[in-house]
Copies of this chain bind each other. A is one copy, B any other.
Amino acid sequence: MKKTILLTVLVLNGLTSFAQSNDEKNIKLFYKKALTESKCYTWLEYLSNDIGSRLSGSPSAAAAIQYTKHQLETLGLDKVYLQEVMVPHWVRGEKEAAYILDNKIKTVVPICALGGSVATAKTGLTAEVVEVQGIDELKTLGDKVKGKIVFFNRPMNPENIETFTSYGACVDQRFAGAKEAAKFGAVGTIVRSMNLRLDDFPHTGAQSYGDLPKEQYIPTAAISTNGAELLSKSLKVNPALKFYFKQSCETLPDVLSYNVIGELTGTVTPENIIVVGGHLDSWDLADGSHDDGAGVVQSMEVVRILKNLNYKPKNTIRAVLFMNEENGGKGGAKYEEVAKQNKENHILAVESDSGGFTPRGFSIQADDANFKKIQGFKDFFEPYLVHSFTIGHAGSDIDHLTSKTIVKAGLKPDSQRYFDYHHAANDKFDAINKRELELGAATMTSLIYLIDQTGIILPTAN
């Protein structure tokens, strides 16, 4: 008996090490193809420089849908199609204006309306300012903000190594600040940009009035970090100063738009689906090269590499370019709705929506068994300096996927520079490094390959 067991172990070991060596070779090939012949940088150049910003409902978002669909069609995938989705259509209108009015001296500061905000009166809005560090402090002030502009000025904490941690601890004042301030009778809100640097770029982003009646909506805008510092200092000297801003944004009727999908159909269990995606929409202030042009072209690159290598996936592998992540999430929700209708079985969803920087690892949403399984892949990634596999949020678009057996993984690039560009006018193609972008695509390809080969661990039936 002992002998038999020993033999089995040896054979298994032999098989394992053969398989590993083969996987290592394939992964090496993915990186090689990404670094030597990728199309993702060229695709992004076109998306950014020729099409430009791609806010949901805009003509350029429509152009991006046609462009990426066409590019996917050139790859020889098994299916390329559009998935209809109705999306909100918010427009900024003419460029905002703002100044600090301090003893009749006007100091112009850079602002931009937050996505979904209402306009000010055509003549603008002037009011005294109450500075707070967040919604909690606002609540302690209560009616004292009545008739005033609430200035949310909590900065992102520079001490965190992962900048997304600092973003997560701050973004409530942008997303819900106006709604909360309106409840106490504030007439507008100004929010410090979610940016760790001191500079002159205002950073837009989604905000929501929640259940507030429409007549209570108040205009809300982001101010650059330098502008926020100046306003705060000026308020310390003269708490009675006023702030003026004018914006003419509005929400138009919803628009028909699309998710773009390219598919390599599975050859063994085609009913099991692996998704890799990013979001095709961007904010309107720049090209959205990092957010999320990068994720879009990396996802396209994943299927390009696999197809180019004539890889026959066991499971169906889909690149999904989601529409409307930024201000509604309608694309992600629609994808899940259709998946449910079709009773599709998603086993893995990978999203890249943290910028096109050097990949460091994955942020994983999975049960213990599958998390350990993915951690077990660490050695495969070590030669590529991909080292960080942690439990955490994987991606906004794939958040919508609710299958019980699904494993989700968000590509985790180096995060130091992300908020320099996020939702601001400098998120442009020149902020992209070709190799960093390509390494991200290869890293996603490798994880998808490993899961396609070995499957996920299904929960034990009770």
Chain A stretch 129-166: residues in CB contact (< 8 A) with chain B: 158-159, 161-163
User: In whole Å, how far is A126's beta carbon from the nearest beta carbon of chain B?
Assistant: 35
Contact of A434 among B197, B358, B414, B436 (CB under 8 A): B197
Is the Cβ of B35 less than 8 Å from the Cβ of A158? yes
Q: Which of A83-91, A332-340, A379-387 contacts B (4 or more CB under 8 A)?
A: A379-387
Please state if B436 and A36 are interface contacts (CB–CB under 8 Å): no
Given contacts A197-B434, A358-B416, contact A159 B36 (CB under 8 A): yes
| A388 at the binding interface (Cβ < 8 Å) | yes
Copies of this chain, tallied across the complex: 2
A435 within 8 A of B: yes
Shortest distance from the beta carbon of A29 to any chain B beta carbon, whole Å? 10
Q: Does A21 contact B (CB under 8 A)?
A: no
Inter-subunit contact B384/A387 (CB<8 Å) = no
Which of A36, A159, A420 is packed against the most chain B CB atoms within 10 Å?
A: A159
Given contacts A35-B158, A35-B159, contact A417 B388 (CB under 8 A): no
Judge whether A196 is part of the interface by a CB distance below 8 angstroms: yes
Task: Say if the beta carbon of A433 comes within 8 Å of chain B.
Answer: yes
With contacts A36-B158, A158-B35 taken as known, whether A385 is within 8 angstroms of B358 at the C-beta atoms is no
- Tell me, rounded to whole Å, the shortest Cβ–Cβ distance linking A386 to chain B: 10
Q: Which residue, of A32, A159, A161, A388, has the highest number of chain B Cβ atoms within 10 A?
A: A161
Within 8 A of B (CB), among A393-444: 414, 416-417, 420, 433-436, 439
Q: Restricting to A256-281, which residues have a CB under 8 Å from any CB of B?
A: none
Docked complex Cα distance between A384 and B387 (Å):
12
A360 near B: Cβ within 8 Å?
yes
Judge if A209 is at the interface, Cβ distance under 8 Å: no
* Measured CA separation A228–B163 after assembly (Å): 40
- A371 contacts the other chain (Cβ, under 8 Å)? no
State the Cβ distance, A323 to closest chain B Cβ, in Å.
30
CA distance A434 to B387 in the complex (A): 23
Q: A414: which of B31, B35, B358, B388 is its contact (CB, 8 Å)? A: B358
Q: Which residues of B contact A420 (CB under 8 A)?
A: 433
Q: In the complex, what's the smallest C-beta–C-beta distance from A1 to chain B, in angstroms?
A: 36
Which B residues are CB-close (under 8 A) to A159? Answer: 31-32, 35-36
CB distance from A427 to the nearest CB of B (A): 15
Would you call B384 and A385 a contact (CB within 8 A)? Answer: no
Contact present for B384 and A161 (CB under 8 Å): yes
| Shortest beta-carbon distance from A431 to chain B in Å | 11
Give CA–CA (A417, B439) in the complex, Å. Answer: 13
Interface centre among A32, A36, A196, A416 (most CB of B within 10 A): A416
CB-defined A-B contacts under 8 Å, sample of 16: A31-B159, A32-B159, A36-B158, A36-B159, A158-B435, A161-B439, A162-B385, A196-B435, A197-B434, A358-B416, A360-B385, A387-B388, A414-B414, A416-B436, A416-B439, A417-B433
Given contacts A35-B158, A162-B385, 7 further A-B contacts (CB under 8 A): A36-B158, A197-B434, A385-B387, A387-B387, A414-B414, A416-B439, A417-B433
